[in-house]
Structure 1
Amino acid sequence: MRKTVLLITIGCLLFGCKKEETTEFPFDSLVLSSSNLAEINSIKFTRSDTLYFQRNYPDPPQNFYAIISNDKKIELNQYLQNLNINKYKPFFYDENLDDGQSYLLQVKAKDTNKLIFIHGSDAPKELYNYIDSLIALKEDLNFIPTKQVIDFGNLSSILPIPPPPPPLKEN
């Protein structure tokens, strides 16, 4: 009788437990910034379930946040596990293009601190697919404004240069 109860208990433990997806976010943070003539913004992904968004242009700059569902977080983590950021060079620049779309991808991990700047259409298709999927995820979320200061890294390469100061009036 004891053996039967023990076998049933072990069977229930082995077959009754559902394995939960625990795929970890592969980076400490990932920031995707985009710039074109109409807008400049950044999306920040971290190990938490919070996604941050910053609109830099049109003015005024403003920060937002949204909460990612657990299912979306698992899907995102699995997708980003395949991104080997180290295989890409730091610049993809179309010299014949004066305006157009630019992207800045900043990835921070334990032993990696990588920037990839893309201007034009010279980057590998795989990078554009990652960028498109991150933007699509952002579009599906409902962002809430926040006054919280959020570090989006060094955006100087994607932000426009400030205008010159107005001329001084002579007395």
Structure 2
Amino acid sequence: MQQFGIRPEEPDDWWEVEALYDLCFAPGREALSSYRLRDDVPPVSGLSLVARDGQGILAGAIRFWPVHVGDHDALLLGPVAVHPTHQGEGLGGFLIHEGIEAGRAMGWDRVMLVGDAPYYARFGFSRLSGVEMPPPTNPDRVLGLEISPGVWDGVSGLVTRWTR
């Protein structure tokens, strides 16, 4: 993997990151149910990361959002995107690992996302049964990762917006 500068996202990065997400995802991405959980809720400070190449051009980004799952707190990973000119270099996986480790260091113990199980299984994510994203969400795409062993055991219910 070529050298990238990885650092927490800053307010001045916001629109450039949004443009990267627009480039990498289908039109209407903000209509997805996961975006209703993000409306008017800031991403977790220090966990949303940007990767810039040697010329300072944005190559990738990842964001994490706080959510509630029933009576429990969790990080909602996403979106994560890598500019098409850098896809296949391992940058997306690196951002996922870095973000999860930063979450661990901040005391978070569970992470969830809506995504493709075969891709995210390599990072330790598996299907969460009993955890319901707002509709319309395919339950087979609701995945979780335990930062601390057993933290998803017995956790069920609707995923709701952060209210603290």
Which TM-score applies when normalising by structure 2?
0.24
Which TM-score applies when normalising by structure 1?
0.24
Report which of the two structures shows the higher radius of gyration computed on alpha carbons. 1
